Structure 1
């Protein structure tokens, strides 16, 4: 890769690691109050602004240079995390202040995420997109492993406030790295009113049946993933040998996901959206294994296959969006994809316990397995999913 792409990878890695620190830090800080409601309020205050503002953020990603939006989002997140650190170090856990700062963080995440996708597409040549997305995926996966462990260790050793200050420093490093990327700027164009651009983004999304079908199918597997993340540990503890069995399953899945992300940039995939659909449908294996209480080795293998599929899916999906969606609409279109993804998994988490209380754990998981496989394999029947995306000459960089 070129020095420019290594700089992009470094900046996104700083941001990914910082993002992975936040949930554990907040959880350990707030759980000391002894109130589950307080923790729920703080986490909800981060999620809700993210969901509400994503469509607005998509317009911003297409209206303004992606580098500047990412820079602003990282600096806002750095300031919010520094403020959280100051609150925790000076005054203890004050839930209203933490909730307000978590909301600021969620809003910044909303604006930064679609613009980061646009920035990757802007600075990466067409033939390098998949390799770059795969490396970004590996960095993000490693961050998801190391972040909670680092946050937990730091919080228990010196306090949650210092963990938040480290998070602020990492977001600052990301801003300094990505905000200064030497990218060319396109000549300014006349912009339509905000509402018109938002509607145009919706129209552009509807113009791509492959995208609409995949987003709907991805919503199903995100919902199913929420069910599995809630019911899976319960089944493992009760039927597969205790808490250690879930650790084995989870670690198997983590390793398999990283292998899948790494392999995605190296596998000879001629029709990437086929691999995306099959990768998402593989989650049905894990859902079925837990539903049927298969022995621990079989369940771990099934979960590993599902997570390998997820690992392959992620960089291929990112790359296909960047190749197939016009550059000038990528932020708005991808924001709808992110909105569905961010909303569906919490819905699955919320529905898991009530459904299991009424029907038991087997029925929801089996139904989710059928729906996940059916929705994602059904997408493969669409003609424009079977088509190979045409390579195009990169447009002027933002």
Structure 2
């Protein structure tokens, strides 16, 4: 079942990675308008952010396999609809935006259910290893997705590219058929009451709230860096090839970190995730100087190595420290902050740099990233191992 789980989530990750580039190329070919492109991308993001908490509630009320199955099938239908519309004629921006919004809504329901699905299928002792492998495969999918989408569009056309993406989600949905998970814990009959209960559970875990705040800050910093970094690289570090070297060093580092995470003798995973996130301050400072390209690439390598270690450790810490019956709702708060913070960083980077120059926003972001994430080390529960009690409660509830 673990292999089926990993295969399905990998195919879904590849299909998901195809969507942004596919939408971008489809809109550019349709109208060539940056305003239209922004409208379509916002149409996908807005329902995702609004519906994530609702998706977390459903992930705890219903079997996660069923939630993800429906989410994959909806995304399949939306991508096939876009593909057919492109093959049959020239779709309007409004049509593409509506189908992008449907896709974003499906993501909001599917994402919070992944962690409960993992806890229902994978035994506790194997979760770190499985989370790490899924992280590696997901990272490779994110790297390959834009190139695949561009290649499919140039080779087959935009319509066929979306049809292939839809097929990917259909295959992902099929892999869920053989997964057997533990019965769900019964929750309240009201969605609002379930949401409030999930928020109370999140507030009960200080380590979770403080860590998520820190993660949101580094996502904000990532938005700044991914906007200003390429500009600085092109203007001051040697051109487009400089940014390519820096970006690829980070990609390699993240994969290495994810592979290494289950093999490292880490006794305090929450402290390690805090340190891993704080390392993102390094490239922010390096770009702010700007340092020579070798230093910037090394700083970005270190930061992404830390994030690679962070991701499977954080997923496993959540699965271990949050009761299984509340994992979808609590995890949705984490996803909501992460998904919202990075676009905010992308949006404000250029105006801030225009007003103050590149150095001030980057240095400020570096200080906030380091401070917000290292502050979590003040908590006693972070300096110690994640409590085992949550696992026991979750197991008792499942029985």
TM-score if structure 2 supplies the norm length? 0.97
State how far apart, in whole Å, the 2-side matches of 1:340 and 1:13 are: 24
Q: Is this contact kept in 1: 2:82–2:96, CA < 8 A?
A: yes
Give 2:194's aligned residue: 197
One of 231, 236, 240 as aligned partner of 1:239? 236
Asked if residue 335 in structure 1 is aligned to residue 338 in structure 2, the reply is no
Give 2:165's aligned residue: 167
Give 2:277's aligned residue: 280
Asked if residue 361 in structure 1 is aligned to residue 358 in structure 2, the reply is yes
Secondary structure of the structure 2 residue equivalent to 1:42 = helix
Asked if residue 107 in structure 1 is aligned to residue 98 in structure 2, the reply is no
C-alpha distance after superposition, 1:151-206 (max 9, x if no partner) = 101101121111111110110111010243133434x7363311111111111110
Shift of 1:390: 3.3
One of 76, 79, 102 as aligned partner of 2:77? 79
Aligned length: 394
RMSD, aligned CA:
1.3
Secondary structure of the structure 2 residue equivalent to 1:182 = coil
Shift of 1:397: 5.8
Runs of 4+ off more than 2 Å:
182-186, 188-192, 390-398
Give 2:121's aligned residue: 123
State how far apart, in whole Å, the 2-side matches of 1:200 and 1:322 are: 18
State how far apart, in whole Å, the 2-side matches of 1:397 and 1:197 are: 17
One of 133, 137, 140 as aligned partner of 2:138? 140
C-alpha distance after superposition, 1:244-285 (max 9, x if no partner) = 100000011000010011111111110001110111000000
Secondary structure of the structure 1 residue equivalent to 2:290 = coil
Give 2:387's aligned residue: 390
Give 1:11's aligned residue: 8
Q: Is this contact kept in 2: 1:322–1:330, CA < 8 A?
A: yes
Give 1:254's aligned residue: 251
Which deviates the most, 49-58 or 93-102? 93-102
Give 1:289's aligned residue: 286
Shift of 1:357: 0.6
Secondary structure of the structure 1 residue equivalent to 2:340 = helix
Give unpaired runs (5+ residues) of structure 1: none
Q: Is this contact kept in 2: 1:259–1:308, CA < 8 A?
A: yes
State how far apart, in whole Å, the 1-side matches of 2:278 and 2:34 are: 34
Q: Is this contact kept in 2: 1:27–1:39, CA < 8 A?
A: yes
Give unpaired runs (5+ residues) of structure 2: none
C-alpha distance after superposition, 1:70-119 (max 9, x if no partner) = 10000000000000101111112421111000000000000000011110
One of 51, 54, 61 as aligned partner of 1:53? 51
State how far apart, in whole Å, the 2-side matches of 1:293 and 1:151 are: 33
Give 2:215's aligned residue: 218
- The 3 A distance-change label for structure 1 pair 190 and 41 is closer
State how far apart, in whole Å, the 1-side matches of 2:76 and 2:44 are: 15
State how far apart, in whole Å, the 1-side matches of 2:163 and 2:186 are: 40
State how far apart, in whole Å, the 2-side matches of 1:180 and 1:82 are: 25
State how far apart, in whole Å, the 2-side matches of 1:205 and 1:100 are: 33
Q: Is this contact kept in 2: 1:205–1:333, CA < 8 A?
A: yes
Asked if residue 375 in structure 1 is aligned to residue 372 in structure 2, the reply is yes
